[in-house]
Structure 1
Amino acid sequence: MFPLFETILLQNSKLHNPEFHLERISSSRKKLWNKKDTADIQKIFSEFDPKLVENYQSEKKYKFKLSYDEKNAEYSVQLYKTRKINRLIALNADEIEYSLKYTNRLFFENLLFNNDISINTELIIIQKGFATDATYANLVFELDGEFFTPTNYILPGTKRAKYLKEKVITEREIRAGEINNFEKIHLINAMLNLGEITINSPFNIPK
């Protein structure tokens, strides 16, 4: 099993935001193996032709999963189904460390299982009193038409990086006790744009 992976949106005959994924792959290889080269990954991207498969040319979302180590990589493609989320629960989990996108995500699964979290519920992970991420997405908090993402993240996602670069969202520290002050909370990741999964207040997060 490859230790790291990237999930890339495949839709309308194209892989979306590959430059942000390449940047994270380069950074991850540098941290783990002191290697930044991504020529092998770029070769996979350039040789992959979604136009050869009729379904990939549609509005349907496909998950292009790229698994890799310091010198090898492989990919798989599967249809993506958006999970319906209608409730958020804040949970303290200072012990979680996931600064790289590791294939082993058992601790996230255990966090959901051990706290009896239902399929339509997602967590706001609290660390040292601050909101960070959900288990599979970055968070964006909306207030008066402005969009904020926590400075205290667990994993900086590629969609988060894109929105920050485009100045769609801005960073700010969000304390657990401030969560109820916001109007909406959005989940974003490589497969989810801003507004695709939105939970409206009241959130009823204990202070």
Structure 2
Amino acid sequence: MNTLFSEAIKLKDGVLYNLDYHQMRVNRTLQQFFGTSIDLSVLAQLIPEDKKSGLYKCRVLYNTRIVSVECTPYQFRSIQSVGVVNANHISYDYKYADRSDLNRLLEKSGCDDMILIKDRLVTDASFANLVFQSPNGLYTPTSYLLRGTKREYLLDKGLIQEREIRQEDLTQYERVFFINALIDLEDNISMDIQSLRYLT
């Protein structure tokens, strides 16, 4: 059986957001693993009428074809605790449907989410890319695990900048924001740096 990949797309009031960025990521994945492509524009025809009002997470499972599409109501996560965790064994270059390694690490941390550290470098959270706020601006690590669509969009718009961020650099920042396809910077899913729990 072919490896399954997933794509989570923001669906708001019947509109699929940043579809071009999702298409680029799907294309990279399919070229790497199967040497093929699929067209995500067909998703617009698959959205049920009762999902065309409100905010939904549109989860697409695919390999050489679209296997399933599921649209579920989306609510922002409450993040009260964030652990800084060693993740040298974690690899998530592509958006695999199987997230069991990340899920186990999150459960072990005992926190709502994690900042994952590989070779002393800051990477991602369990479900999001990271943006760090300093007096000089907003920065995202060059050492990300997954090339997130919202991260790419914000970089292209010049709203954030890339920078190498090591674990020992964290105290130079004031706040960390969690971003993904459904979470924008202005949604303020974030944590004060001084509140991080160091579990490495």
TM-score of the two chains, using structure 2 as the length reference: 0.91
| 1:203 partnered with 2:199 | no
C-alpha offsets along residues 38-82 of structure 1, whole Å, 9 cap, x if unaligned?
A: 23x32233x2356x32x5323xx2110111111343201111121
Matches within 5 A, 1:147-158: 147-158=138-149
Distance 1:199 1:160, change over 3 A: same
What is aligned with 2:184?
Answer: 193
8 Å CA contact retained: 1:5, 1:65: yes
Which of 159, 165, 175 is matched with 2:156 structurally?
165
Q: Which residue type is aligned with residue 25 of structure 2?
A: R
Change over 3 Å in CA distance of 1:44–1:185 after alignment to 2? same
Is this contact kept in 1: 2:84–2:196, CA < 8 A? Answer: no
Q: Distance in 1 between matches of 2:63 and 2:103?
A: 23
Aligned position for 1:146: 137
Could you tell me which amino acid in structure 2 is paired with residue 176 of structure 1?
Q
1:1-207 to structure 2, matched below 5 A, reads 3-35=4-36, 37-39=37-39, 41-45=40-44, 47-49=45-47, 52-53=49-50, 56-58=52-54, 61-115=55-109, 117-118=110-111, 121-144=112-135, 146-196=137-187, 197-204=189-196, 206=198
Q: Give me the whole-angstrom Cα distance separating, in 2, the residues matched to 1:26 and 1:73.
A: 16
Deviation at 1:114, TM superposition (A): 2.5
Q: Structure 2: how far apart are the matches of 1:146 and 1:10?
A: 29
Q: Give the TM-score of the pair, scaled to structure 1.
A: 0.88
Shift of 1:83: 1.1
Unaligned runs of 5+ in 1: none
Identity among equivalent pairs (%)? 28
The structural deviation recorded for 1:202 is 1.5
Q: Which 4+ runs in 1 deviate beyond 3 A? A: 203-207
Return 74-83 or 152-161, whichever deviates more.
74-83
Amino acid at match of 1:44: L
Aligned residues: 197
